[in-house]
């Protein structure tokens, strides 16, 4: 059922917007930015009851390399993205899952998903097409929600890449001084070393 729904209703609109498909994940590259949309199936699914949701992500190539220090994958996934969220965040901030059963009208569900992807998901990703916009989104939507240390580390890397090294180092040093997040100290030190190995950047 999910394959039929994807092939008939999701794949065409994603292809029309220059996304490349890999199973239930789509990527679209725009220079330094890679956009992600994926279909996440519930772990409790069976052949007669399939639940799923939509996730969105944004990866900045150079940020991903500094944070993970691993070869770049053919298809980016959730952990490659500095920003990864559920589709419900775009309209009512509630988690949304859809369920398909053999008796359900796939056309009805598919058309609703098409509408959400076309009117919510694609415009959201279209708008996040630069490091400046990525930083602005993090500052407006993430930092005010008690972000995890990993989110702050990735935010610091974005700051560095945006020619704001002093602000980046301030964030990283604050994390190192916080004894409540000692588990993140090793990652902060790794990132420090990688940033220090890069060509010196200065403010624009």
Question: Cα–Cα–Cα angle for 184, 185, 191, nearest 5°?
Answer: 95
pLDDT in tens, 5-38: 999 999 999 999 999 999 999 999 999 999 999 9
| Beta strands, E only, 88-180 | 98-100
Q: Is the pLDDT reported for residue 75 higher than 60?
A: yes
Q: What is the band of 147 on the pLDDT scale with cuts at 50, 70, 90? A: confident
Q: What is the largest CA-CA distance in the chain?
A: 61
Mean pLDDT of 59-75: 96
pTM: 0.91
Kindly tell me the number of DSSP H helices and DSSP E strands found in the chain. Answer: 9, 6
pLDDT in tens, 91-143: 887 888 998 887 677 888 899 999 999 999 999 999 999 999 989 988 888 77
pLDDT in tens, 154-176: 999 999 999 999 999 999 999 99
Mean pLDDT of 53-65: 96
Residue found by looking up tokens 């890449």 in the block: 161
Domain ranges within the chain, ordered by starting residue: 2-128, 132-196
**Integer Cα distance of 146 and 110 in angstroms:** 35
């Amino acid at each position: 059922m999910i394959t039929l729904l994807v092939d008939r209703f999701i794949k065409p609109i994603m292809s029309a917007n220059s996304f490349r498909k890999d199973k239930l994940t789509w990527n679209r590259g725009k220079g330094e930015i890679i956009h992600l949309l994926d279909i996440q199936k519930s772990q409790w699914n069976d052949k007669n009851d399939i639940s799923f949701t939509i996730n969105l992500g944004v990866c900045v190539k150079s940020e991903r390399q500094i944070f993970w220090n691993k070869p770049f994958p053919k298809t980016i996934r959730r952990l490659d993205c500095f920003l990864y969220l559920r589709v419900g965040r775009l309209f009512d901030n509630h988690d949304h899952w859809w369920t398909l059963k053999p008796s359900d009208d796939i056309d009805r569900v598919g058309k609703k998903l098409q509408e959400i992807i076309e009117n919510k998901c694609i415009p959201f990703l279209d708008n996040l097409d630069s490091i400046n916009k990525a930083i602005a989104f993090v500052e407006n939507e993430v930092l005010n929600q008690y972000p995890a240390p990993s989110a702050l580390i990735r935010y610091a890397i974005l700051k560095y890449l945006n020619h704001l090294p002093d602000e980046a180092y301030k964030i990283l040093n604050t994390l190192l001084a916080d004894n409540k997040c000692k588990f993140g100290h090793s990652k902060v030190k790794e990132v420090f070393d990688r940033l220090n190995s890069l060509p010196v950047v200065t403010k624009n």
